[in-house]
Amino acid sequence: MQTQTIMKRAVRSRRYSFYQKLFFLYVLNLCDWACTEALLASGRFTEANPIMRPVLGDFLPTLIIKCVLPLMITLLCALFYKLAKAEESRAVNIMINAGIVAYTLVNLWHVVNFLLLFSAK
């Protein structure tokens, strides 16, 4: 019985809070932006997202779309979560985890592209 209690505590201690997940999602977004800019600067890559393609040429709109708006949305989500005194929702956790997985895959794709870039002769 005591072993089960210890195991449950260990699993709970590895969970990340809603706020930590939001922060991580925002950091992954910023990493995506930085990697995209670096790869585009090499001249060997193009933006895959057709919506972002025309925006990436100008710094101010890119800053607003990739940095300011996501930060505002992140802060609003955290504020609404706190004001609502919401319990951890399974649906919200699934959505945030899906976003983290998606951005992680995008950033891993950037790593592959950096490897291709630096291995090219």
pLDDT digits (tens, 9 = 90+) for 41-57: 999 999 999 989 999 88
CB-CB contact of 21 with 97 (8 Å): yes
For residue 1, the Cα-to-chain-centroid distance in whole angstroms is: 39
Residue 46 token pair = 């193009």
CB-CB contact of 32 with 39 (8 Å): no
Neighbour count for residue 103 (Cβ, 10 Å): 19
Q: List for the chain the helix, strand, coil content (%; round to 5).
A: 75, 0, 25
Instruction: State if pTM tops 0.75.
Output: yes
pLDDT in tens, 70-95: 999 999 999 988 888 877 788 888 99
